[in-house]
Amino acid sequence: MSLVRLNIKGISYSQTQSGAYALVLSEVEGNRTLPIVIGAFEAQSIAIALEKEIKPPRPLTHDLFKSFADRFHIIIKQVIIHKLVDGVFYSSLICERDNIEEIIDTRTSDAIALATRFNAPIFTYENILDKAGIYLKIKDELSPEKEDKTIENLIEKPKKEATYSKDTLKQLNEKLEQAVLNEDYELAAKIRDEINKRTSK
């Protein structure tokens, strides 16, 4: 199976889980995005790592791990999101010390938080993107002026949760397209799951 490289596109408040956030990853050479639900702490940790000018007064857990790894000459070479089971993504850290490579199992949210600190590339497999990815139209790519990675722009405010039980499949597909146009990928993931639930019966 071929690996696909991903970049962090942004973080938005989750409409499906209270107190959670959606981390949106986009493929480097393609138009698909991968929304992953993560906790508030991990969302904040990732946002702080991306915002280079903000430094917490005391080290966060992921900062501590980075300091520990640096002290003992351990590097994270890459992160691989290698499995998706019942909506849960599984990841691995590919680490190296003294030219010896080790693979460490980790939560995806922690893996991404560490990847941002080690400048490590993030990958997933093609079949995972086929299963959980959402297509992004070329014209909707982020323009340079919209790529301001401040915490305020990375973490959006909560939105009212919507239900789709009364919508037809045609309406759901229209709402899915609109959500992608609005770059609301966590909402698009929820609509996609509703469509898949109906069509798989």
Q: 7 with 71, same domain?
A: yes
E strand or H helix at 10:
strand 3-13
pLDDT at 138 over 50: no
Give a yes or no: residue 151 inside a domain. Answer: no
Q: 16 with 90, same domain?
A: yes
Q: 104 with 192, same domain?
A: no
- Residue 110 Cα distances to 43, 78, 196, angstroms: 10, 13, 28
Question: Using one digit for the tens of pLDDT, what is the confidence trace for 139-191?
Answer: 444 444 444 444 444 444 444 456 777 888 888 888 887 877 776 666 777 78
Q: What domain range is 116 assigned to?
A: 3-135
The confidence score (pLDDT) of residue 122 equals: 97
Question: Using one digit for the tens of pLDDT, what is the confidence trace for 40-89?
Answer: 889 889 988 887 766 777 888 999 999 999 999 999 999 999 999 988 99
CB-CB contact of 22 with 12 (8 Å)? yes
Give a yes or no: residue 52 inside a domain. Answer: yes
Q: 110 with 179, same domain?
A: no
| Residue of higher predicted confidence among 141 and 131 | 131
Q: 121 with 193, same domain?
A: no
State the sign of the Cα–Cα–Cα–Cα dihedral 102, 107, 109, 110: negative
Q: How is 84-115 classified by DSSP, letter by letter? A: EETTEEEEEEEEEETTEEEEEEEEHHHHHHHH
Question: Using one digit for the tens of pLDDT, what is the confidence trace for 19-34?
Answer: 788 899 999 988 899 9
Contacts of 48 (CB under 8 A, 6+ apart): 54, 56, 60, 151
Average pLDDT of the chain to the nearest whole number: 81
The count of domains in the chain is 2
The confidence score (pLDDT) of residue 10 equals: 87
